[in-house]
Structure 1
Amino acid sequence: MSRLKSVAGLVAFSLFFVVFTVAQKAKPIPYDHNPAAGRFYDINGFKMYTEVYGEGPPVLMIHGNNGDMSAFSKNVPYFAQHYKVILADSRSQGRSLDPDHPLTFEMMADDYAALLDAMHIDSAYVLGWSDGGINALLMAIRHPEKVKKLVATGANLWVGPDPFAPGLWDQMEHAYTTGLTKTYTTPKEKNDRKLFLLDWWEPHITLPQLRTIQAPSLIMAGDHDVISLPHTLVIYQNLPHANLWIVPNSGHPTVIEHADEVNKKVDEFFTQPFKDFKPNE
């Protein structure tokens, strides 16, 4: 009888262990707060927070304004099966705190190039969304040896009404003007204002600069993105080696709203031979 009880207890424990293990595996990964994958690097005067998943060719994913690496939570599981996915919080965002310094897109592009150096990675595929797309373009301009191929979705080259959907620049101008009369006291308020001003004053990428990019490029935007279709076409048309994909039924967050399609399309782009890319006429 005692043996039966022991067997029953062992079976019950085994079932509990299996259920517990499955539950643990099913638990979402806490991107941006995962000690098992996280590390800080000393980069250009601040501590840059990173998390790495998977093994294989390196893919650097760069998030948008006032965001963090969790923006790619729907993309990492797919790519981590075949790539070494590098996530990093941009300067002054997420866990990469840098409250006391100015901020430019050029600084952030240099930060990401320095991060690859610190990780002993010669070059990487780069996927950038929104401000991250701007960073991807600037990395390819300022550090061409670091970028194997780049994907930029929802990026803009300059500021003003033209790059944006109708009415959006007017909203930003109102927020800028209103903000001039406010007093910012807490570190978060000051940092949020700094990040807003980044998109108000920048970027300033010229078409001649864009034409220096030799990395094969996939330019993306949603068909009702906050970045206008004509501006996205300007980016595509001025890259020497580029493909264009306007994501149907999508707004600005293409990597979130259409993660499955984006994952497959970007993966195909990364794995295509260079000979498949023909220079734009």
Structure 2
Amino acid sequence: MKDRFTHSEGRHVEVGGARLWVEEIGRPDGPPVLLLPGGLGTINDFDALTPFLAPHARLIGLDSRGHGGSTLGGAPLSYARLASDVMAVCDALGLVGVTILGYSDGAITGLRLAAAGWPGLRRLATIGATWRLLPDDPVEGLLDGITPEVCQDKFPDSWAIYHAANPEPDFPRLIAEIRRLWLDPGTDGYPGESVREIRCPVLLMRGDGDPFATRAETVALADRIPGARLLNLAWAGHDLHEDAPEVVAGMLRRFLTDS
């Protein structure tokens, strides 16, 4: 049984002018869990976590539009478009009743789907989720330092996967679209107060040192979602699933079976 994504044994799904890379690992008869990575990352960002989940679930990894093995297409990047991509991929694969595990941008996408009441979603688990764009948001400082050269230096694995797996690599354009995505104040951007409409079970997880999904903002998010469960883990950061994969996997396994 495969317990890590390889970018070699999957398929592309054509959605809205893009080809999106989808790969499955884990237990074929297990509950379906769709893994959505963060900005400028790939499904391999879950490598520390998937060995603990693969024996218990059917894991479906989706590289976000423009990332990893997925092409960008011609339309502007937005969280609304990423959410539409998820729905289209699930339709193509015949997936229903999925649990989404979203990290960072993937978490924001999951929140939009949950707030919209997408019927294909059974449960939502997030890591490092933000839900609104605040004045002087810390993401603005992060954007100041993002260039192709900096990304190659800071994220060499994602950089290498992107250039090896992407059928139409254009990293400078991807960075420009990421800037648009992260700073979008409009209705196609962050879910904002629509999170109050979420009715599916939700598990919010963050590392206590996360500078982007702050403690106060994550608590505010949890307070807006009826019945949301919250994990705030000491001595961990934005990459909680890498800092404490066994803890995160244990919480997810319980979440999958929680009634």
Partner amino acid, structure 2, of 1:223: D
Aligned residue pair count = 233
Cα offset, 1:201, TM superposition: 2.2
TM-score, reference length from structure 2? 0.82
Classify the secondary structure of the residue corresponding to 1:193.
helix
Matched, 1:140 2:114: yes
Classify the secondary structure of the residue corresponding to 2:20.
strand
Of residues 117, 124, 149, the one that matches 1:150 is 124
Matched, 1:210 2:174: no
Cα offset, 1:62, TM superposition: 0.5
State the identity %.
26
Find the structure with the greater CA-based Rg: 1
Partner amino acid, structure 2, of 1:153: I
- Judge conservation of contact 1:49–1:96 (CA < 8 Å) in 2: yes
C-alpha distance in structure 2 between counterparts of 1:173 and 1:30, whole Å: 30
Which residue of 2 is the match for residue 88 of structure 1?
62
Classify the secondary structure of the residue corresponding to 1:144.
coil
Which residue of 2 is the match for residue 31 of structure 1?
5
Of residues 43, 46, 50, the one that matches 2:18 is 46
Classify the secondary structure of the residue corresponding to 2:14.
strand
Of residues 39, 47, 63, the one that matches 1:73 is 47
Classify the secondary structure of the residue corresponding to 2:119.
helix
Of residues 201, 207, 217, the one that matches 1:222 is 207
Larger mean Cα displacement after TM superposition, 148-157 or 186-195: 186-195
Unaligned runs of 5+ in 2: 148-168
C-alpha distance in structure 1 between counterparts of 2:31 and 2:139, whole Å: 39
- Judge conservation of contact 1:109–1:138 (CA < 8 Å) in 2: yes
C-alpha distance in structure 1 between counterparts of 2:245 and 2:217, whole Å: 23
Runs (4+) of structure 1 moved beyond 6 Å? none
Which residue of 2 is the match for residue 259 of structure 1?
245
- Judge conservation of contact 1:139–1:146 (CA < 8 Å) in 2: no
Partner amino acid, structure 1, of 2:14: D
Classify the secondary structure of the residue corresponding to 1:237.
helix
Which residue of 2 is the match for residue 190 of structure 1?
173
- Judge conservation of contact 1:141–1:212 (CA < 8 Å) in 2: yes
Which residue of 2 is the match for residue 233 of structure 1?
219
Larger mean Cα displacement after TM superposition, 255-264 or 137-146: 137-146
